[in-house]
Amino acid sequence: MACPKWPWLAGGLLLASSAAGQFNDTFRTTITAMDPMTNLDIADMRYNVWNVDEVSGFRSNEWYDAWFVCHFVATGYNAHGVAWWRTQDEGVAANNTLRYQSEPPSDGPTGSFDRTLEVGHRNGTYLGAMSGLELAAYELNVSHTHDTAVIFHNITLSVPIRSQA
Amino acid sequence: MVQQRGPDSQPAWAALETFQPPELTHTVEDGAVSLQNMTELSFAVPPNTTLLRVLGPVMHAEDWDQTANCYAALDPEPSWWRPGNFPLSTSYKPNSGANRTMFLLPIDPAVEFTLRLGPPNPASRCVVDGIQSYPFYLYVSRRCPESDYLATTPSPT
């Protein structure tokens, strides 16, 4: 037969097997505020509220409604930094939450993803973390209210890779 | 008023008189490629690549109305691709620097991809320093998992 009918089947099996085994390890890397994957100078830098530490590269702001964005393709992240409240009053502090949102930049036919994580740490050393995410291109938006001060250090990403491990 | 444009409305040399050179699509500045006017840079990813790292400079914005953004797309679509969901990056920062991480893209080493980079809208430009491709037979250090240290091992032959 000049035109066999089985190659599409073989190709389908090959694709299925490679999709299942394309990654077997995780690569962890740290992204700073100076990497283009992060954006602390959103839209219009004239009104930017994030201060820059020229030595460490850390970004900080106090008592502003502010947020930062990180774009990544990963299955998890861990944002490092420090946050504290304006007041010691626990009743007021309950409103002063850090919000974390991970969502694709636009809603596709496959549906949207939206997760919010509230971090209530006082003087904590991390700004939030998620793991076990479905691999996708995410936009992480970390925001806080003007009753909170934040120092952003960096963010560690978990990127699946294939290795010989 | 409607201007009639027939075959005899202009002499033949009028096309040369009104010729506009094509708009500048890219420039090279300090070793970085600056893509403008929706120009794409395509890169044939080497075989057996499992991770792509796209490097780019960060810089001050001279004009705040400008933007320096990039999208990354892969052809064929990787397993994690969703319609309309592009990885993005932002190059304008308070400080200047070079070879910063713009994208980290995990890909199937069994598939040969073409990477495409470009500005996501006509008003922005996309500045790229370089592209690193990590083959899957890299050894990832276990002793220091928080670092991005990578060491190569000889490829199996």
User: What distance in Å separates the CA atoms of residue B73 and residue B82, rounded to the nearest whole number?
Assistant: 11
Query: Which residues make Cβ contacts (< 8 Å) with residue B78, sequence separation at least 6?
Result: B105, B106, B107, B108, B111, B113
pLDDT at B139: 56
What is the per-residue pLDDT for A16?
40
Residue range B97-102: average pLDDT? 93
Residue A5: pLDDT band by 50, 70, 90 thresholds? very low
- Output phi, psi for A157, to 5 deg: -110, 150
Query: What pLDDT does residue A42 have?
Result: 63
CB A98 within 8 A of CB A150: yes
Longest Cα separation, chain B: 78
Q: What's residue A28's pLDDT?
A: 93
Here the ipTM equals 0.72
Mean residue pLDDT of chain A comes to 69
Q: Using one digit for the tens of pLDDT, what is the confidence trace for B4-50?
A: 555 556 666 666 667 666 677 889 988 899 998 889 999 999 999 99
pLDDT band per the 50, 70, 90 thresholds, residue A54? confident
What are the tens digits of pLDDT across the range B123-152? 888 999 999 999 887 555 444 444 444 444
Query: Which residues of chain B make contact with A158, given a CB cutoff of 8 A?
Result: none
Residue A30's pLDDT is 94
The tens digit of pLDDT for each residue in B51-96 reads 999 999 998 876 656 688 898 999 999 998 877 677 888 888 888 8
Question: Which of A162, A164, A90, A102 is closest to A132 using CA atoms?
Answer: A102
CB pairs under 8 A between A and B: 141
Best mutation target, B104, B126, B148, to test chain A (most A CBs within 10 A)? B104
Question: How many Cα neighbours within 13 Å face the side chain of A70?
Answer: 31
**Cα separations in angstroms, A18 against A11, A33, B107, B115, B157:** 11, 35, 11, 20, 21
- Write out the two tokens for A27: 């690569």
Query: Looking at the predicted structure, is the pLDDT value of residue B153 above 60?
Result: no
SS3 B57: strand
Yes or no: say if A118 and A63 are a contact pair by the CB < 8 Å rule: no
Q: What pLDDT does residue A118 have?
A: 62
Show the 3-state SS of B15-53: HHHCCCCCCCCEEEECCEEEECCCCCEEEECCCCEEEEE
Share of chain A above pLDDT 70, in %: 59
Upstream peptide bond of B76 is cis (omega within 30 degrees of 0): yes
pLDDT of residue A82: 80
Q: Among residues 76-105 of chain B, which lie with CB inside 8 Å of chain A?
A: 79-95, 97, 100-105
The per-residue pLDDT for range A90-122, each reduced to its tens digit, is 432 223 233 333 333 444 333 455 566 666 555
